[in-house]
A and B are shown apart, each in its own frame.
Chain A
Amino acid sequence: GAGVSQSPSNKVTEKGKDVELRCDPISGHTALYWYRQSLGQGLEFLIYFQGNSAPDKSGLPSDRFSAERTGGSVSTLTIQRTQQEDSAVYLCASSLAGPPNSPLHFGNGTRLTVT
């Protein structure tokens, strides 16, 4: 497809379960970002990939959060032992080149609800 694709679009899980969120970036985009958007909080940076490496993972809120990127393409964000405060929209973005000036192209996000 032409844009960034994220799946699933919605995920409802029980507290304590693990979840895996997937992002397919635009083909040829070397940089990939994960952000989290909560109501009234704006977009919170989680992790940045350049190729398969993560030069900046400073935004991951706890060791329950991890992410990987394979083949310089698809990325997965894994949240272990989910908590209610993890409920948010998780947005993935890709860009042709690295930060800070290459514009970001976002997917439509995964809305995660932890019950």
Chain B
Amino acid sequence: TQLLEQSPQFLSIQEGENLTVYCNSSSVFSSLQWYRQEPGEGPVLLVTVVTGGEVKKLKRLTFQFGDARKDSSLHITAAQPGDTGLYLCAGAAGGSYIPTFGRGTSLIVHP
């Protein structure tokens, strides 16, 4: 059983469309991180959310942490081909302090 469930697993859209990906758990997290990974590279940190209900914006990306700190979402407005990649959420919970990763959402944005 995955501590962090991400959905959808795959997403293929056209340039200019909006999308939302989700990261859900039954556990409470002190913080959650979102990473983006491109082929042949390691994950790169996009944002850390800490406070329940927090919303953070990074250009066209909007990250939200659930009020109960059990879930998070990433919304991309007007997706660009450069947004293509694997989006991973990560956090530590359930008595462990080691960051656990979800399986990721693989996004392809077609020009």
Q: Which residues of A contact B (CB under 8 A)?
A: 4, 33, 35, 40-43, 45, 48, 56, 59, 91, 93, 98-101, 103-109
Interface size class of B (residues with CB under 8 A): 20 to 34
| A57 CB, min distance to chain B CBs, angstroms | 11
- The answer on a CB contact under 8 Å between B45 and A104 is yes
Across the interface, which residues of A come within 8 angstroms of B100, CB to CB?
Answer: 45
The distance from the CB of B36 to the nearest CB of chain A, in whole angstroms, is 11
B21 CB-CB contact with A under 8 Å = no
The A interface is mostly helix, strand or loop, or mixed, namely loop
Partner-binding segment picked from B55-63, B71-79, B91-99:
B91-99
Q: Are A100 and B99 in contact (CB-based, < 8 A)?
A: yes
Residues of chain B within 8 A (CB-CB) of A59 are 98
Taking a contact as CB atoms under 8 Å apart, the answer to whether A106 and B40 are in contact is no
Residues in A whose Cβ lies below 8 Å from that of B44: 106
Smallest Cβ distance from B37 to chain A, in angstroms? 8
